[in-house]
Structure 1
């Protein structure tokens, strides 16, 4: 857990340095971040009340002393998560000031090549036009929010396996910081929904028509997309704002949560696979991402997970050898 807190501090300082280098008004942005911290704590209580109830329920089945000792740690980690996410927002809104959007045309062409000459959104709307916009919104931007943003708090409150906690704290940092900041800067892209607004033309006119026909444009999803574009045009920032498509943090963090479900109970593997598939599908269907954005995120998260498990197993082997019959 200390390594996680150190990383949050490093990410914050690196984010501040980045903003100072690329923005004309860095002090205002940093002060805005600080002013948002108390609000973000209230946001957690509003969105994650069910986590609090679940933790209280544990007092009926587990030793109270152990549970009480987790509360101060969980509060510290909650504040760290809030700082982490607000730093992420500050960095994300500043990425276009460091490097212009350049990767949309090649990403769109890669998508067509991978899907036999067809844009992936055509496929998703052909099979998923029946999906209610409200249900898509509830899953993609509602249910996803708490586990994706506050996974470290969940780990502190509910998981006593130190190796697993360390592994998924690493994946959390990779999902947000590596995918959402470092790789996002290298592959600056706005995504299909903003392609024509950014570059002009009608490359994704078919997507816009499909979103309008399905009612997505008139739903909360469409409102969020318009909000993000207005924030981008104004050069300001808001909680959760910023435009960046490649790679997909949404799909990446869905993959992290799915791997955690799988590790906690192997029989949840079908559900874990379904979660990743659903978020990959919706990321394209709603216009946020190119399909390749999600493919890359899944590959990075799964590769990091496999590496972390192998590394932890290699470190544990000598320790186990010390307790083998031959050495006792």
Structure 2
């Protein structure tokens, strides 16, 4: 039976251990500000531009989607930690571990999953990301207010010129315009957010702050900033699904939109109601989903970053997955009426340029 003195000693050891861990974590977080200084500069700069633009245009900052994504992020984080511990428990059982599973899992949790360096890296990556996207979503929502849609007709014409007088969806129609196939295309297109989150967690939640981690995180924010905040504003366009709302001439995408509506009566084609909600939010000036902007395609741009990150990691299976996924997202962006093909081409070029630029910066800062 434990005496009062024994309990006191145990409590002192636990308190001392907790205090030491807090000091280590605090020191790692403070050091992390310098390591992530460029990431914070980009995040705060974008937030500042969004704030100034909102004050100039007389519209509020956009927090709605950030709150939804932040909540989802925390759910993912706890699920990952739980799954990680479950996999570790299975590994212990499989290898015939003879010690205490509880102690082994505790060590895994404290020394690896919640190691001070990993906690610090996670805090900085996700904080910078959250600050950035408040500014980003505000700027994206304000695009048609700052510069009304004017590029849809030129992009449609450019698509025709680049594809031998055909619109890309017309070329793809014989292979893909079947309701069940369209349903599968839409399922895959919606998986983009899950893959995007997985890549961000992979690099943001790492224990070691590697060059690859810094390059991916920096190029990730840079691609969104250059792609949508800068070029998306200058090349303001709504996209094929909204062509008839912004161009007075005959709508060359009417057949595509009629087909998608018909396919939606057979299988759930989520792009159809999402596009309706998005346009209504645009008209109302607020809504659950906000921000109409087609050029460039950030779906395609981010999947190119997946490929580049996979190549840098040397994981062959991930390279193949990323390449096939990127191609499928590009095709889906056209088949579902979200984007012109040129949106995807420019998105890919932006991602490559930002990857190269961030790689130069990281190499310089790690030297």
CA contact 1:193–1:204 (8 Å) conserved in 2 = yes
* 2:73 matches 1:44: yes
TM-score, length-normalised on structure 1? 0.83
Q: Which moved more, 1:104-113 or 1:119-128?
A: 119-128
Match of 1:286 in 2: 336
The change in CA–CA distance for 1:215 and 1:172 in structure 2 (over 3 A counts) is same
Question: Is the contact between residue 258 and residue 275 of structure 1 (CA under 8 Å) also seen in structure 2?
Answer: no
Q: Distance in 1 between the 2:255 and 2:360 partners?
A: 45
Question: After superposition, what is the alpha-carbon deviation per residue over 1:85-129, rounded to whole angstroms, capped at 9, x for unaligned?
Answer: 233222111111111100001100000011110000112222112
Give the corresponding residue for 1:67: 113
Choose 1 or 2 for highest CA Rg: 2
Q: Tell me which residue corresponds to 1:241.
A: 290
| TM-score for the superposition, normalised by structure 2 | 0.74
Q: Measure the CA separation in 1 of the matches of 2:327 and 2:309.
A: 16
Aligned pairs for 1:192-271 within 5 A:
192-200=240-248, 201-215=250-264, 219-238=269-288, 240-268=289-317, 269-271=319-321
Post-superposition offset of 1:312: 5.3
Match of 1:8 in 2: 43
Residue 236 of structure 1 aligns to a residue whose secondary structure is: coil
Structure 1: distance between partners of 2:195 and 2:321: 15
Aligned residues: 309
Q: In 2, are the aligned partners of 1:12 and 1:87 still within 8 Å (CA)?
A: yes
Offset of residue 3 of structure 1 = 1.9
Aligned mate of 1:78, from 105, 126, 130: 126
Secondary structure in 2 matching 1:158: coil
Shift of 1:148: 2.7
Residues 303 and 73 (structure 1 numbering): CA distance in 2 closer, same or farther, change over 3 Å?
A: closer
Can you list the C-alpha shifts for 1:23-75, whole angstroms capped at 9, x where unaligned? x3x3xx23x62x77554432223456654445545786979424322135414
Contact 1:191 1:290 in 2 (8 A): yes
Please give the root-mean-square deviation of Cα atoms over the aligned residues, in Å: 2.9
Cα pair 1:228 1:243 within 8 Å, conserved: yes
Question: 2:152 touches 2:239 (CA, 8 Å); kept in 1?
Answer: yes
> 1:129-208 to 2 correspondence within 5 Å?
129-130=177-178, 131-141=180-190, 143-148=191-196, 151-158=199-206, 160=208, 162-200=210-248, 201-208=250-257
Cα distance, 1:12 vs structure 2: 0.8
Change in Cα spacing, 1:63 to 1:38, as seen in structure 2 (3 Å) is closer
Aligned mates of 2:361, 2:141 — CA distance in 1: 35
8 Å Cα contact 1:159/1:165 also seen in 2: no
49 and 190 in structure 1: CA distance in 2 versus 1, 3 angstrom threshold: farther
How far apart are the structure 2 equivalents of 1:50 and 1:139? 22
Deviations 1:249-268 (A, max 9, x none): 11111111222222223413
Match for residue 135 of structure 2 among 49, 64, 87 = 87
Structure 2 unaligned blocks of 5 or more: 1-35, 89-103
Change in Cα spacing, 1:38 to 1:98, as seen in structure 2 (3 Å) is closer
Evaluate the alpha carbon distance shift between residue 105 and residue 168 of structure 1 in structure 2; reply closer, same or farther with a 3 A threshold: same
Q: Which runs of 5+ in 1 are unaligned?
A: 320-328
CA–CA distance in 2 between the matches of 1:45 and 1:197?
38
Displacement of 1:4 after TM fit? 1.0
Q: Confirm or deny: 8 A CA contact 1:101 1:190 kept in the other structure.
A: yes
